[in-house]
Chains A and B, each alone.
Chain A
Amino acid sequence: MPKSPNDQALDKYRQAFQEEAREVLVELESALLELNENQNDQGLVGRVFRALHTIKGSGSMFGFDELAAFAHDLETAFDEVRTGRLNVTSGLLDVALVALDQIKAQLEEAAGGPPADRAVSGEILAKLHALTGSAEPSPVPQVPSAPQSPLAATGAVCAWKIHFCPGPDLLRNGGNPMLLLGELKQLGELHASASMAAIPRLEELDPERCYISWDMLLTTAAEREAIRDVFIFVEDSCELTIEPDLAPAGQAAEATPSALPQRRSGYGRRSYDSPDNASSIRVPAARLDQFVNLVGELVTVQARLGEVAARRDDVEVTAVSEEIERLTAALRENSMSIRMLPIRATFERFRRLVHDLARDLHKEVDLTIEGGDTELDKTVIDQLNDPLMHLIRNSMDHGIEPPADRIAAGKPSTATICLSAKHSGASVLIGVSDDGAGINAEAVRARAVEKGLVASDSQLTEREILSLILAPGFSTAEQVTDVSGRGVGMDVVRRNVEALRGTVEIASKPGAGTNVTLRLPLTMAIIDGLLVRIGLCYFVMPLATTLECIELTHQDVEKANGKHLADIRGELIPYIHLREYFNIHTERPEREQIMLTETEEGRYGFVVDQVLGDHQTVIKNLGRVYRKRQAGCIYTKGSW
């Protein structure tokens, strides 16, 4: 049976809530972990409280009653902290972090994931209440949400529970919540309870902003719509829920405001036009991917049009083609910028990992973040989680020493892991560094020889030795722990980074620490390239790394005595003959061209037959049909 428009709208809001809640949970986790390091910081307590308040309020608004109830108990605990009745302790924060995981599990369940373990909720709340010294928690419902009650009969006296949370700008816009409450009172008997929990410290309080919300119990013969009409002018900028009170008849009218439930469900509406939301919109990632795909197709078609226009001597067609080229370039830039996201949120997620591992391994570790505002392509960010996780786990388990060892080595007992990001040309450098014991290159070499990865007499630089730890199954750890040591993690790092067309570089100094740098392309979707030809084959080279194109004659080759070295303005540059590299057996032209590129290792040349010109290249997965090929290119004519 198709869903009614109201149900569809509710589904949409529920989905929006889930997305919003995930973001709030990231913020909550970050605030809890920071609070662990600065337990007297009232600002952080406020952040935790506000995040919990948001989850509770929005959750109950959209029918996530169980989740809202759970968040409510946590919120109450942190309200106690805010008001000075409870101290922040590591125990409280640990319970809060576990509770956060449980909220995540409940959200995943709502999104169709595995069911959250209800028993865990009970255990968490019991621990929480033991810490806060409050009464035992009421049992958490065993079902996600209770069925909605039927609407009150028209004309009969009913009790209604009303939650009214004005938007922050209500006062600024001339609204007066008291007048609304006065109007409600005219409809029947009203008990109102104002919630002051969101009022910040006086110094931080914006005097023109509304922080107060109300929970009310109205006993009236009026229908729901009549009650809603009271809020008609503010409904779009407030949280409002109106639902029948489910208490047995006769008890409703006696209910006191303090007994009013803090949780709401069902019929509420919520505005998303707060200042933050007014300047940004939430778009599903899949829709964004589709948009970029279409832009990619357009880029290809535009290139074909450009070729056709160039072949025809038609001024009008050329003019249209040039105009479309300009617009396509602008659209491409725009779509690429939409895909770029700051990496901070990804980095922040690892605070929890560091916190938990430090506790489990009995180590003291601070996580610092540098360059969190550096933007990367969404695809790159999505695939960075696993490599970063493995690098941090390795660092925590093998790199960082126990506090006593660090003190004995003259280091501070608390170690530091630094996650950093910065741009470097067309690449982004992601760094994971620590001030731990470093990597013992000799031990790596010995283990590599033992495993047959290198010959015992092979001459390797320190960098080459260190890169051996990226080999599958390689591990120097004497013990396999829960954290690492199986030799799988670094292989995952290498494979994931290579899948992103990136590289891994490792530098380490015994006793001082280890730096792992992931060099990744800035974008994964469309790049500016140079189209080159060798025989009948076409290749695209990234424009960003190409310095210049220089002719290479037979005489130049002869002068180098057959060595692949080109004398470019007095500098000898090694080059790779792509014709030989790709085994292309066509006649070699009299004059070839060297594409000079700059890399971290120095300058290199790639020899091709002809450079055809700049070429916007759309990078896509080849799909399962072509999985045996490493790469391919759809040329503007549609051919490979």
Chain B
Amino acid sequence: MPVFCDQGEALSLIRLQGDVNICSAAEFKQILLAVLARGKDMRVDLSSVTDLDVSALQLLWAAEREAKGAGVGFSFAGQCLQDVAFALAAAGFEKFPPPAEPI
């Protein structure tokens, strides 16, 4: 599965790897729900992602909205691969810029 979660004391780190798409969307959703339930800040590492499809993007968007609503920190980490960044930008996903500093 291309979604992994490290739950630290103050931060939950979600690492995405390879193609994150509809095949893993159901499990990705469960992981996001579990992380949100912890109430700790969350960070999503996109550095190893080779493809991020719409199902993953809308899950991330919903998670970010709910994290903000609950006062939980939500951030992205890791330099996106150029193809992923290009796809995100072309699709108009301004909410997912490649971060400036890697973790």
Contact = CB atoms under 8 A, between A and B. Distances in A.
B92 A214 contact: yes
A212 B90 contact: no
Interface-central residue, B26, B54, B57, by most chain A CB under 10 Å? B54
Contact of A202 (B54, B57, B66): B66
A518 interface: no
A631 interface: no
Interface-central residue, B61, B62, B87, by most chain A CB under 10 Å? B62
B54 A192 contact: no
Given A178-B91, A181-B91, A202-B63, A196 B22 contact: no
B62 A201 contact: yes
A178 B28 CA distance: 20
Interface-central residue, B22, B36, B58, B61, by most chain A CB under 10 Å? B58
B17 interface: no
Contacts of A190: 90
A216 B91 CA distance: 9
Contacts of B25: 207-208
Contacts of B33: 202-203
Contacts of A214: 91-92
B6 interface: no
Nearest to A211: B58
B50 interface: no
Contact of B26 (A176, A194, A200, A207): A207
Contacts of B36: 202
A431 B20 CA distance: 56
B93 interface: yes
Given A196-B61, A201-B66, A205-B62, A177 B92 contact: no
Interface string B42-64: 00000000000111011101110
Contacts of B61: 196, 199
Contacts of B58: 196, 199, 205, 210-212
Contact of A257 (B29, B32, B55, B92): B92
B22 A172 contact: yes
A182 B89 CA distance: 10
A251 to B, nearest CB: 20
Interface in B64-79: 65-66, 69
Contacts of A201: 62, 66
B51 to A, nearest CB: 9
B87 A194 contact: no
A193 B53 CA distance: 16
A118 B91 CA distance: 38
A178 B87 contact: yes
A2 interface: no
Interface string B14-30: 00000000100110110
Contacts of B26: 207-208
Contact of B92 (A84, A192, A200): A192
Nearest to B30: A207
A50 to B, nearest CB: 15
Nearest to A204: B62
A192 B89 CA distance: 8
A83 interface: yes
Interface in A154-199: 171-172, 176-178, 181-182, 185, 190-194, 196, 199
Interface in A18-67: none
Nearest to A190: B90
B90 A182 contact: yes
A158 to B, nearest CB: 20
Contacts of A84: 69
A72 to B, nearest CB: 19
A523 B90 CA distance: 59
Contact of A194 (B28, B29, B65, B92): B92
A83 B54 contact: no
A303 B59 CA distance: 63
B70 to A, nearest CB: 10
A85 to B, nearest CB: 11
Nearest to B95: A196
B92 A207 contact: no
B91 A177 contact: yes
Interface in A397-414: none
A207 B29 contact: yes
B54 A171 contact: yes
B62 A192 contact: no
B36 to A, nearest CB: 7
Contacts of A177: 54, 91
A363 B92 CA distance: 51
Interface-central residue, A83, A84, A205, A214, by most chain B CB under 10 Å? A205
A182 B87 contact: yes
A520 to B, nearest CB: 48
Contact of B91 (A171, A194, A199, A211): A194
A575 to B, nearest CB: 71
A552 B33 CA distance: 78
B32 A171 contact: no
A571 B10 CA distance: 85
Contacts of B28: 207
Contacts of B53: 171, 176, 178
A190 B32 CA distance: 32
A184 to B, nearest CB: 8
Contacts of B90: 178, 181-182, 185, 190, 192
Nearest to A174: B22
B55 A207 contact: yes
B22 A207 contact: yes
Interface of A: 83-84, 171-172, 176-178, 181-182, 185, 190-194, 196, 199-203, 205, 207-208, 210-212, 214, 216, 257
Given A194-B92, A199-B65, 20 more contacts: A83-B65, A171-B22, A171-B53, A178-B54, A178-B90, A181-B92, A185-B90, A192-B91, A192-B92, A194-B93, A196-B58, A200-B62, A202-B59, A203-B33, A205-B58, A205-B62, A208-B25, A211-B58, A212-B54, A257-B92
Pairs of residues from A and B, 6 with the lowest C-beta to C-beta distance, nearest first: A192-B92, A207-B25, A194-B92, A202-B62, A193-B92, A207-B29
15 contacts: A83-B69, A178-B90, A181-B90, A182-B90, A190-B90, A192-B92, A194-B91, A196-B61, A199-B58, A202-B29, A207-B26, A207-B55, A208-B26, A210-B54, A211-B58
